[in-house]
Every structure is written in structure tokens, then in C-alpha cells.
Amino acid sequence: MNYSSNDLAQLKSDFEDKGFIVLKHFFAQDEMPALLEYILQAEPSEGQGGLSKGAMQFRSNLFYKSKNIQNFITQQKMVDVLRHLIGNDFWIRWDQAVGKGPGAPVFPWHQDNGYNELSCEHFQFWIAVTKSTEQNGTILISPESHLKGRLPHTFDGKHTCYQGEVDQSMMIEAEPGDVLLFSSLTLHKTLPNVTADDVRWAYVLEFMSLKDYDPGVPKPYFVVSKEGKPFGEFVHHHPAKNMFTELEYQLRKLKGPVRVALQRVKKAFAPTAA
Ligand SMILES: O=C(O)CCC(=O)C(=O)O
């Protein structure tokens, strides 16, 4: 798929207005079985494997060790589109493949910033590795929700969820090779898989400008694009890392234990029933 400079300008403006764009047939359907093979062969890190529930499985951080995946995510045609949205220099902070087999549950409404608590936006490149339908657990997004900024989320014991009102929602059904590109601030969820035998796979790549740093991601950092060209190398120094990003992270880490301690104190001093 080749995009003219007019197409790219339109895609950028749609992305900024709606918080997502759909790139139909971005990859050829017959490229997807090989991608699924790379996903299944790659060694995942523990990471968000913890999000797996029943027949819904997450395989995260596959790019660190898989050369095949590193080559896949630094393709010229991906860089060409992404650099119009992100800028010429960007890295990948996270990737995850999500398989939903028969009986897989809902993955509730959330912004990806709700999980990582970052204040900066990043760019979610969702690839339909297999056909993705209403029945087999496809994705729903809420257009324009990114304009609200970071919303409050709660933890349900397994997943981080947005429990407020969702004014608009749009289901994205996709053929293998279609791409949904959305902002990390865009609310989204996935449906249950109610089929008898259809396993749905999506692969999500999370790209971030090299001007932004995520202190929750340990080095080395995989740089995907430099000066608008595929780069594809790990670096040990992140250009946006500094004293303030570290301090912010340490304070964020403290927030959880402080909250738990306050709850314990409250409980200890709560009046007991007579
Ligand atoms: O399963 C999917 O298609 C996407 C899962 C999801 O919501 C996410 O990766 O943030």
C-alpha cells in the first residue's frame, strides 16, 4: 500500500480529530501466517502475560529477542506512515500479541495510558493477524475519547478499567493484514469470543517519540526510526531520560504502597460494630 503526501496529510488530520485511523489491506493477507509464526516462536517476557484470563492470552515484549519481529516492525512502509504522526525519530516501548480463543472474555474499556500512567501520548499500531469479527472478540474504540486526556481508571483485580460513561463506540471488524492505528489515550475494549472454534489474533505495537521516555521500560531501547528512516538497533542511552523523569517514576511507584498503607490505617481506626 502506497500513500501519497495528500493521503498522509489526511490520515494525520483524521488521527488527530478522531483518535484513530483504519489502514485497510496495509499488509497482504498472505503475510499474516508468517507473522503469527514469528509471534508463536518468540520468547515473551513475563510483563503483561498477567493480563491473560481464560482463553485470552497475552504474549508481550516479543521484539527483544526475535530478529524476525525486529525486521517486521522496522519495515519502510510502517516507518513512512508512522513518522507523519510521531515525527522522524521513534522507538518501541512495548509490543503484545493477544490471542482470543472460544470462550475468551471481554477485555474492558481502558486507555493504554490508564495502564502505564504516562502523561505522554503514544501510538498503538494494532494489526489484525487473523480475521477479527464481532463474534470472535474484535476491538471497539471510542472516537474522539483521546481529546478528554487521561481518564481515571480502577483495578478490578486483573485489569485496569475505565468505568465512566462511554459516549460513542465503534466496532472495527478487520481482515487479516488490516491495521487500526490509535492513540494511547483513545478508549478501547475487546468483545468476548462467542465462536465454537475460531481463534482471533491481534498484534499491538506501541511506538513512542524519542522525545518521550517511559521510566517503566528498562534499557536497552529499540529505536525503530531515526531521521525518518528504519533504524532497527538497540541503544543503551535514551535521549529523553533525565533526573525529572526518574523522580516522577519513583513518586508514581510510591503512590501504590502509600494508598494501601492509608487504607490499612483507616480500617484499623474504623469503629467496630457493637
Ligand atoms: O486484544 C486486542 O485486540 C487488544 C487488546 C488491548 O486492548 C490492548 O492491547 O490494549
Condensed to tens digits (0 to 9), the pLDDT of residues 195-234 reads 999 999 999 999 999 999 999 899 999 999 999 999 999 9
Take atom 9 of ligand 1 and give the residue whose Cα is closest.
204
- Report d(CA 14, CA 263) in Å as an integer: 44
Q: Which fold has domain 5-238?
A: Jelly Rolls (2.60.120)
The pLDDT score that the predictor gives to residue 87 is 98
Cβ(140) to ligand 1 under 6 A? no
Which regions in the chain score pLDDT beneath 70? 46-49, 256-263, 266-267, 271-274
Predicted TM-score (pTM) of the model is 0.90
Cell of 19: 483518535
Cβ(107) to ligand 1 under 6 A? yes
Q: Is 46:119 a contact under the CB 8 Å cutoff?
A: no
Cell of 159: 485489569
The single residue listed with the C-alpha cell 522522524 is 88
- Report d(CA 267, CA 233) in Å as an integer: 51
Take atom 7 of ligand 1 and give the residue whose Cα is closest.
189
The domain locations on the chain are 5-238
The single residue listed with the C-alpha cell 485511523 is 21
Ligand 1 binding pocket mutation candidate from 204, 205, 207 (most atoms within 8 A of CB) = 204
- Report d(CA 68, CA 62) in Å as an integer: 10
- Residue 189 alpha carbon, nearest atom of ligand 1: 7
CA of 60 to the centre of ligand 1 (A): 11
Ligand 1 binding pocket mutation candidate from 95, 96, 113, 206 (most atoms within 8 A of CB) = 96
Q: Tell me: the pLDDT tens digits for 61-95? A: 999 999 999 999 999 999 999 999 999 999 999 99
CA of 70 to the centre of ligand 1 (A): 20
The pLDDT score that the predictor gives to residue 244 is 83
Cβ(202) to ligand 1 under 6 A? yes
Cβ(139) to ligand 1 under 6 A? yes
Ligand 1 binding pocket mutation candidate from 118, 188, 191, 206 (most atoms within 8 A of CB) = 188
